Amino acid sequence: MNTEFLAGSKAKVTFEVQPEQFEKALDAAFVTESKNVSIKGFRKGHVTREMFDKYYGEEALYNTALDNLFNDFYKEVLANKELANRVISQPMPGVESKIEKGKAFTVSLTFDVYPEPTLPAYKGVEVAKKNVEVTDAEVNESINNILKSQAKLEEKAEQVIAKGDTANFDFEGSVDGVKFEGGAAKGYEMEIGSGQFIPGFEDQMIGMKKGETKDVKVTFPTPYAAKELEGKEAVFVVTVNSVKTTVLPELNDEFVKTLKRENVNTVEELKASELANLKANKETSEHNRQIDEVVNKILDGTTVELPESLVKTYVEAYKNRYTEQAKAYNIPLETLLQLSGLDQATFEKNANEIGKRQALFQVVLDKVVRDEKLEPSQDAFKARVDEVAKNTNQKADDVVRTRGQQIYSEMVYDAFINLVLSNAKEI
C-alpha cells in the first residue's frame, strides 16, 4: 500500500494486485455471478467455470472481482488509524495498469482527506473576562417571575383595558371587505401587550371597555405565513367581552413555603437561592461565550481550502434538520421556512454559510487533535463507555455499538476546548 497526498485535499492509495490474488478474486466473483446464469445443458446456478468462460469470457468477472478487491483494500486503509482519521469521502476506485493474465497490476483508491490548514496561534488567544456578577435588580426580577407564575386572574373592577390586562374578546377580520380564513374567533383570551397579534393590533385595544366594539386597522407584515395576506391592510371588528387583571401573591414566608423548595422556607432564603441559581446560569453562559469567542478567533485566523465534499456534508445536514422538523410538524418545508421568517434564497444562503463554518471547524479540530495528540486513550474511552452504560442501564458493548463514535467525538471535542480555553488569556 502506497499513499500519496495530492492537491485539492485528496489522497491516492495504490495497491499491487498479484496474479494469484486476482485469481482468487475471480473465483469468488464466479461463485457470485454464476448463481444467475443459465446455459443450455446446465441448471440455473450450476454452470461450470469452464463453460462460463467459454460463453461469456473471463473478462465478464472482472468488475465483480475488482469490486471485491477494492472493498478489501479499503478495509486496509481504514485499518491504518492515522490515515483513516483523515478520510472524509467515499473512495473512487481506479485501475492504474493493464490487466493481463498471469501478471501483477496496480489499482488505486482516491478520496478526500482533511486538508492541512495554516492555523493561527491557538494558545494564548485573548478573551474577555467572565462577568458573573448578579445585581439586586436581577434577583428581584427572578422572584417577580416566580410570583407571576403563581398569579391569579381576577375580574377587573373597572372594565377598561390597560397594558398587561387579559382581555376576552371576539374578532372578525377582512381585507377589502372580504373575510379571510383564520381571521375570526369568539371568546379569544390574550394578555394585551404580549405581542401575539399583528403589530399595532393590541395597542389599539388599550382603553377599550367591556361591551365596546371597535374597528382595529392593521397592516400584515412581510413576510407572513399566509402569503396572500402579506403587506395587505386589514380591518378587524373587535368586541370586548371582559377584562381581567393579574393579581400577584404577597411575598412572605408563608408564600415561600408553598413553593416546597428544599431548605428554602423564608423570603431571605428564597433570595439567596435565586442569587445562587442566577450566578450558576451566568457562569455557564459566560463559559460558553468564552468558548465561542476563542473558537471563532481561531477559525477567523485559519487559512485553508475546504474540500467540497466536506462542506456539502454539513450543508446537507443543516437542510435535513429543517426537513425532518417539517415532517415532525406534518407541514411542507416551505411553510416551516415561512414560519421561521425565511425565504428559499435566505435558507440556501444560511445553509451554505453555516455548512462552510462547520466544515472549517472540523478541519481545525482535526489538525489540532493530530498535532497535540488529543485522541482519548483506550482506557479513557472505556471508562466513558462504562459510565454511559451504568447511567443508561445498558451493556458496554451495546453502548459502543450504538454510541461509540458519538462518545469518541465528544471526548475529542472536549479535549480540544479544554486545550484552547485553558491556554486563553483573559483581558
Q: What's the pLDDT tens digit per position in 282-334?
A: 999 999 999 999 999 999 999 999 998 999 999 999 999 999 999 999 999 99
Give residue 133's pLDDT: 97
Summarize pLDDT for 63-121 with one digit per residue, the tens: 999 999 999 999 999 999 888 888 988 899 999 999 998 999 999 999 999 999 999 99
| pLDDT above 70 as % of the chain | 100
What is the distance between the alpha carbons of residues 42 and 32, in angstroms, rounded to a whole number?
16
Give residue 26's pLDDT: 95
Rg (CA), the chain: 34
Give residue 12's pLDDT: 95
Q: Is residue 46 predicted with pLDDT exceeding 90?
A: no
Summarize pLDDT for 226-261 with one digit per residue, the tens: 889 999 999 999 999 999 999 999 999 999 999 999
What is the distance between the alpha carbons of residues 226 and 218, in angstroms, rounded to a whole number?
15
Give residue 338's pLDDT: 87
Structure confidence at residue 394 as a pLDDT band (50, 70, 90):
very high
For residue 212, give the 3-state DSSP assignment: coil
Q: Is residue 360 predicted with pLDDT exceeding 90?
A: yes
Contact between 203 and 174 (Cβ < 8 Å): no
Nearest to 171 by CA among 162, 180, 158: 180
CA distances from 279 to 3, 273, 276, 286 (A): 53, 10, 5, 10
What is the distance between the alpha carbons of residues 47 and 44, in angstroms, rounded to a whole number?
7
Torsion of CA 203, 209, 210, 212, to 10 degrees: -90
Torsion of CA 367, 6, 360, 90, to 10 degrees: -100
Furthest C-alpha separation in the chain: 103
Give residue 223's pLDDT: 81
Q: Is residue 191 predicted with pLDDT exceeding 80?
A: yes
Cβ neighbours of residue 321 closer than 8 Å, sequence gap 6 or more: none
What is the distance between the alpha carbons of residues 206 and 208, in angstroms, rounded to a whole number?
6
> Across the chain, what does the average pLDDT equal?
94
Give residue 86's pLDDT: 85
Domains of the chain: 2-112 (3.30.70.1050), 152-247 (3.10.50.40), 267-426 (1.10.3120)
Q: Which residues on adjacent β-strands are paired with residue 425?
A: 126
**Helix, strand and coil in the chain, % to nearest 5:** 50, 20, 30
Cβ neighbours of residue 303 closer than 8 Å, sequence gap 6 or more: 117, 118
